[in-house]
Amino acid sequence: MRRREDHEDKTYFRSERVFGMNGQWYFSAREGDCGPFGTPALASAALARFTIEKVELEGFQKSREQQVRKRKLTLAERLKLDDVSSGRAFGAPELLI
């Protein structure tokens, strides 16, 4: 298999993610090996849960990045808005009687 940015052919090996060692069962992920689990079925179930949580977390992080954050107004901008909403123009003297 060859990727676009690779200049030479390489062989990539696939292996089972669930493996046994010293009577205990583990699964491997990019983050490292996780376990031990008592049976291969428990290790497989934990792997499935781990994968689902990673996908959900990635989706959540992408949604947070895409949210447009509303810029906070400065005090001067808020005062200008208050002046407009109160009916007087900004900078115009206030008539006190």
Q: pLDDT at residue 11 above 70?
A: no
pLDDT at 93: 61
Looking from the CA of 32 toward its CB, the CA atoms found within 13 Å total 3
Q: pLDDT at residue 89 above 60?
A: no
Q: What is the pLDDT of residues 31-69, one digit of tens each?
A: 999 999 999 999 999 999 999 999 999 988 887 776 656
What CA–CA distance (Å, rounded) separates 46 from 96?
73
pLDDT at 78: 76
Q: pLDDT at residue 70 above 80?
A: no
3-class secondary structure per residue, 15-47: CCCEEEECCEEEEEECCEEEEEECCHHHHHHHH
User: What is the reported pTM?
Assistant: 0.53
What CA–CA distance (Å, rounded) separates 20 from 44?
12
